[in-house]
Structure 1
Amino acid sequence: MLKAVGQALFSTGLQNPKYTADQEKDKEKEKDYEIRTYHATNWVSTTLSGMQWDTAMNTGFRKLFNYIQGNNHNKVKVEMTAPVSCRVDPGAGPACESQFTVSFYIPEAHQENPPEPSDPDVFVEHRKEFTAYVRSFGGFSNENMKREELLKLMESLQRDGVHYVDKPFYAAGYDSPFKLTNRRNEVWVLKKEQE
């Protein structure tokens, strides 16, 4: 158990989902975001409703950490991966609850046949291939930072005349709370498929 906690908290060499980066750079200006097409993969997820992004992330993380520690039908320990993603489906108004889906990428060794969760609130999610606009930022991320970075990303996409889906959107974190420097956080906005 301690080794697993240490791995989850201190390791930077965690498996990440594979994606293809769009190499097409605008010659006139460097973009302040990336375009990534993520391959179809399995994730383990849990969905919570609430007003607080950070509270949902913490609760969801604990449920998913229990899953990778063996709280699944096979009692299999699953390696920690990165990022921890959080899909946000915003509520209809400012005082409405949002829906948060917190997810861990399932490592390669378990992609074909993910262990079935024991917790009824945890489920295996198959994500089809998707393209996202990604803005990276450092530091210890919090709700306000995520919102600010998301707004900056959307402003950049509007500036560049790019079509995107304004909701749901995602936040992704790559580091343990104990990593103090060179932290990596991202916000993702999905590419709008042309009709």
Structure 2
Amino acid sequence: MLLVLVVILHLLSQSVLAQRTRKPYFCSEAEECYSFLTICRDPEYEARAYEPSVWVGSRVLPTEGRYRAVSRLRDYFNKKNRPGIQIERTAPLITTYMDINGELKATNVYLVLPRRFFTNPPYPRDIMLFLRRMPPMTIFVKSFGGWITSLRQKSQDMFEDLLRKRDVFLQDRFYTAEYNGPLTLFNRHNEIWYLSLGPPRCQARNRQPR
């Protein structure tokens, strides 16, 4: 009986690991993606659980703009690191947005490192780059296709949805997640993220009898 229980627990743990490490269908352009487990879904958004991770980031300078910061990240993956190794492509590209004096501005961009570098990440050679260890996180996610436009309206709509559903979340910023390169014209996948600060309420709603 004990042996059967051990086998069942092992299979369950392997199933959870597989769910976390399997690439989602919309992450087809990267060799490794920031893996997640979906906690629950709401008509307007979903809640995901993310494991601890390590990211390389760059600040977005007002004098340069977001795409120069993204270029620094690409250079880091393309051997501009110590010890000068090529790093496989990952997704998504994350951008932090904040309302600064009434204007929506990108402040930081990030790319997740492959899992094999979580323990000992390559150090950036560019002084504008930095490494950041992220703890386990619960994130509210709203997906959309096409190009990242009308961000203020999209983020405001999600912000109001979260307030209406009485979810608790970090309100002074949001994030965009991009899974496609600039040359991909069709079937693009993007997301808006808000960081959860409490148990997702859709979890309780999904347990209610229909």
Pairwise TM-score range, normalised by the shorter structure: 0.7 to 0.9
- Distance of 1:105 and 1:68 partners within structure 2: 11
TM norm structure 2: 0.75
Deviation at 1:99, TM superposition (A): 5.7
| Structure 1 position 47 matched with structure 2 position 59 | yes
| Structure 1 position 21 matched with structure 2 position 34 | no
Larger radius of gyration: 2
TM norm structure 1: 0.80
Unpaired runs of at least 5, structure 1: 1-10
Deviation at 1:98, TM superposition (A): 4.5
For 1:7-48, what per-residue CA distance to the aligned partner results, in whole angstroms no more than 9, with x for missing partners?
Answer: xxxx6243111222113x5xxxx5210101211100110112
Contact 2:31 2:90 in 1 (8 A): yes
1:45-84 mapped onto 2 (5 Å cutoff): 45-50=57-62, 56-84=65-93
1:161 aligned residue (151, 166, 173): 166
- Distance of 2:113 and 2:30 partners within structure 1: 15
- Distance of 1:170 and 1:14 partners within structure 2: 22
Q: Which moved more, 1:176-185 or 1:158-167?
A: 158-167
1:131 aligned residue (125, 138, 150): 138
- Distance of 1:99 and 1:170 partners within structure 2: 9
Counterpart of 2:94? 85
- Distance of 1:100 and 1:139 partners within structure 2: 23
Aligned residues: 172
For 1:60-101, what per-residue CA distance to the aligned partner results, in whole angstroms no more than 9, with x for missing partners?
Answer: 11000010001112001111111000122432x126x84611
Q: Percent identity?
A: 26
| Structure 1 position 94 matched with structure 2 position 90 | no
Contact 2:53 2:115 in 1 (8 A): no
Deviation at 1:184, TM superposition (A): 0.4
One-letter identity of the residue aligned with 2:130: F
Deviation at 1:160, TM superposition (A): 1.2
- Distance of 2:106 and 2:67 partners within structure 1: 14
Cα RMSD after superposing both structures: 2.1
Contact 2:30 2:91 in 1 (8 A): no
Unpaired runs of at least 5, structure 2: 1-27, 200-210
- Distance of 2:183 and 2:106 partners within structure 1: 27
- Distance of 1:134 and 1:188 partners within structure 2: 5
Counterpart of 1:120? 127
- Distance of 1:21 and 1:191 partners within structure 2: 13
| Structure 1 position 184 matched with structure 2 position 189 | yes
- Distance of 2:105 and 2:61 partners within structure 1: 6
Contact 1:50 1:98 in 2 (8 A): no
Contact 2:30 2:89 in 1 (8 A): no
Contact 1:50 1:99 in 2 (8 A): no
One-letter identity of the residue aligned with 2:113: I
